[in-house]
Chains A and B, each alone.
Chain A
């Protein structure tokens, strides 16, 4: 039955869509190769890890790499679970705070004509263009003066200054028709209600996009750990992974552990994207007004 429905759907497509589907599928498979590779790589026994050219699919899957990773921190003071815990706490807090703060900030810039809003938006636009690598030293000085060393806030606060999120949300809020706000105001809604009942639901897709970008940025970030955290117990998982792989270029030891660590680092990114992107597309499909 299901097969029949699918076949009839295929027939319903015009030639353009059919051709498109073929081309896109070929492209998509090529693009997806790294994902298959990461999963398989983590399961490879040592003699397969070093094959050249590398094989994508594993022949004799094994879990020994995972065991190796767990054993590394057995004798050290900070266990691997602590790094993971730090990463999870920091990422969750950052994603929630960034989406709220960016949306709060984007709404007035887009819809209120408060004095200075053009200047403010111009500054944000300008700040999108700065390479953060170059401001690492001044940023360090600021963080130290704010007393953020070895604090969870030291991981979170630098990420909250995310002009990309504000910019993106502002662009979406621009597309909400003014009449909607006026109508709500006539019905007696104040600014908080407008924000919670109109802005947030209407820009759901954009918020999901901001959440994806933010999560990706903060989950993989090593900069805050390197710069602001001297206490080993406050550092995050990607930093740990870096210490694992930094001297490994020509080294055989721990390559298996690194392969599993790469998978652990990648997996949440993957799931987060999958979940939120689905939401994005669902919201798009159902929102009639836009």
Chain B
């Protein structure tokens, strides 16, 4: 090969040109969509500041020992190791309790809110607002209602409404400590949460049911749909998949997030013999009581991973294929 001849690799040039043009193309498309970016900018900025950056910081903190006074000290995976091998309260109570609670309340509340939304949609036009309001009330009143409806109802003495009712009809002989006994606290908690689970998901589903094109039902009837159940299964649910997905996401998040109910009901933290201790209670315990913020962050990262997995599952079920 002659010395002063520049060796040119034709493939390389081609790749370079293609790469360059691809970049140009990308810039061109981005410029073409500049209005789209302008539209999402205000939200994105707030999102970055108050959700994204805090979450990243929380991830960072989960690898540290941090007590809010001294600067955080990096300790690697130790928080996670402790969490999954040594934290007996977490492994024996928080984790199983959360799963038990979520298993009943998640799907239960979800089905219930769809059912109620559908039922309300069947009612005459004018009555709808009032029924919607009635079933949404628990979310509106929040903890105020908890104290005044459920505590007297579930009170552990003879005066408690539930006890006196059950004793009057001979179901039980002595009053049951509905919220203090560890055998019943979880059950009470599930009941109360189901009662208050008609929240955002319920509103979205109600809007979704009302949103279904009425002509579809007529077409369905022509095609041989007979019962209301068939209507729900073949027309209502497929037409409101986005709202179903939203309801599912909100149900999962709401379920895994709600933990203080056990504390409100039983009036003690931690709950009697940790019978209603859930993952969120563990986080509160470590961040609010013990000031082990690094460890609390590690638990919340763990919780996030569980939520993520549960949501992937619901997206698989309800996500639309086109742009999931």
A binds B: yes
Given contacts A105-B42, A114-B36, A129-B308, contact A285 B125 (CB under 8 A): yes
Interface residue B82 (Cβ < 8 Å from any Cβ of A) = no
**A105 and B40 in contact, given A20-B119, A125-B249, A273-B133 (Cβ under 8 angstroms):** yes
Instruction: Say how far A144's CB is from chain B's closest CB, in angstroms.
Output: 12
Shortest distance between the CB of B300 and any CB in chain A (Å):
4
Residue contact B57 to A160, C-beta cutoff 8 Å: no
Give A21 to B128 CA distance when docked, in angstroms: 11
In Å, the complex CA distance between A189 and B40 comes to: 20
**Contacts A37-B149, A266-B140 known; A139 to B307 CB distance under 8 Å?**
no
B211 touches A137 (CB 8 A): no
Q: Which residues of chain B are near A155, meaning CB under 8 Å?
A: none
**Residues 36 to 72 of chain B near chain A (Cβ within 8 Å):** 36-37, 39-40, 42-44, 46-47, 49-55, 57-58, 61, 68
Taking a contact as CB atoms under 8 Å apart, the answer to whether B145 and A142 are in contact is no
Distance to closest chain A CB from B207 (angstroms): 5
Mark A97-119 against chain B: 1 for CB-CB distance below 8 A, else 0: 00001101101110011110110
- Does the CB pair A138–B46 fall under 8 Å? no
Known: A17-B122, A115-B26, A174-B242. A32 touches B40 (CB 8 A): no
Which residues of B112-165 are within 8 A (CB) of A? 119-120, 122-125, 127-142, 144-145, 148-149, 152, 155, 159-161
Kindly provide the distance from the CB of B292 to the nearest chain A CB, expressed in whole angstroms: 12
Query: Hey, which chain B residues are within 8 Å of A277, CB to CB?
Result: 129, 132-133, 136, 203
B222 at the interface (CB under 8 A from A): no
Contact (Cβ within 8 A) B134 A161: no
Of A102, A117, A138, which is within 8 A of B58 by CB? A138
By a CB distance below 8 angstroms, the chain A residues around B21 are: none
Q: Which of B208-252 contact A (CB under 8 A)?
A: 210-213, 228, 242-243, 245-246, 249-250, 252
B109 to chain A, nearest CB (A): 14
**Is B36's CB under 8 angstroms from A108's CB?**
yes
Residues of A within 8 A of B308 (CB): 126, 129
Choose one: B43, B160, B207, B300; the contact of A102 (CB below 8 Å): B43
Contact with A along B276-315 (1 / 0, CB 8 A): 0000100110010000010011011001100110010001
| Residues of the A chain whose Cβ atoms lie less than 8 Å from the Cβ of B304 | 129-131
Residue contact A34 to B144, C-beta cutoff 8 Å: yes
Task: Say what secondary structure dominates the interface of chain B.
Answer: helix
Q: Does A27 contact B (CB under 8 A)?
A: yes
- Cβ–Cβ < 8 Å partners of A209 in chain B: 200, 203-204, 207
Known A134-B300, A262-B144, A277-B129; judge A158-B311 contact (CB<8 A). Answer: no
Q: Any chain B CB within 8 A of the CB of A67?
A: no
- Which residues does chain A contribute within 8 Å of B123, judged by CB atoms? 17, 20-21, 24
Q: Tell me, in angstroms, the Cα distance from A20 to B139 when the chains sit together.
A: 23
A273 and B138 CA atoms in complex are apart in Å by: 13
Picked from B42, B51, B207, B311, the residue with its CB within 8 Å of the CB of A163 is: B51
Q: Are A220 and B55 in contact (CB under 8 A)?
A: no
Does A237 sit at the interface, judged by CB under 8 A? no
B157 CB, min distance to chain A CBs, angstroms: 10
Contact at B134–A28, with CB atoms within 8 Å? yes
Q: Does residue B174 face the partner (Cβ distance < 8 Å to A)?
A: no
Binds B, one of A57-65, A71-79, A165-173: A165-173
- Whether a CB of chain B sits under 8 angstroms from the CB of A54 is yes
Q: How far is the CA of A273 from the CA of B237 in the complex (A)?
A: 26
In-complex Cβ contact of B300 among A29, A131, A192 (8 A): A131
Against A, the Cβ 8 Å flags (1 = close, 0 = not) of B238-270 are 000011011001101100110000000000000
Q: Mark A185-222, 1 if CB is under 8 A from B, else 0.
A: 00000011001000000000110010011001000100
A290 at the interface (CB under 8 A from B): yes
User: Is A3 close to B, CB under 8 A?
Assistant: no
Interface residues on B, range: 35 or more
Q: Is the CB of A120 within 8 A of B125?
A: no
Cβ-closest chain B residue relative to A172: B242
Nearest-neighbour CB distance to chain A for B313, whole angstroms, equals 12
Q: Say yes or no for B92: interface residue by CB 8 A criterion.
A: no
Q: Is B169 an interface residue (CB 8 A)?
A: no
Given A163-B51, A270-B140, A273-B133, does the pair A191, B242 have CB atoms closer than 8 Å? no
Find out whether the CB atom of B43 lies under 8 angstroms from the CB atom of A135.
no
B246 touches A171 (CB 8 A): yes
Residues of B within 8 A of A115 (CB): 26, 29-30, 33
How far is the CB of B260 from the nearest CB of chain A, in Å? 10
A179 within 8 A of B: no
Interface residue? B35 (CB, 8 A): yes
Can you name 17 extra interface pairs (CB under 8 A) apart from A131-B280, A134-B299? A17-B123, A35-B141, A101-B46, A104-B40, A125-B311, A127-B51, A127-B55, A129-B252, A129-B311, A134-B287, A137-B293, A138-B53, A157-B46, A161-B49, A161-B50, A171-B204, A281-B128
Chain A contact residues, CB within 8 Å of chain B: 9, 16-17, 20-21, 24, 27-29, 31-35, 37-38, 41, 52-54, 101-102, 104-105, 107-109, 112-115, 117-118, 120, 123-131, 133-139, 141-142, 146, 157-158, 160-161, 163-164, 166-168, 171-172, 174-175, 191-192, 195, 205-206, 209, 212-213, 216, 220, 262, 266, 269-270, 273-274, 277-278, 280-281, 284-285, 290
11 interchain pairs, CB-CB under 8 A: A17-B122, A21-B123, A104-B43, A129-B307, A134-B287, A137-B61, A161-B46, A161-B51, A174-B242, A273-B133, A273-B136
List the 8 closest A-B pairs by CB distance, nearest first. A28-B134, A171-B242, A134-B300, A114-B33, A34-B145, A108-B36, A138-B54, A138-B57
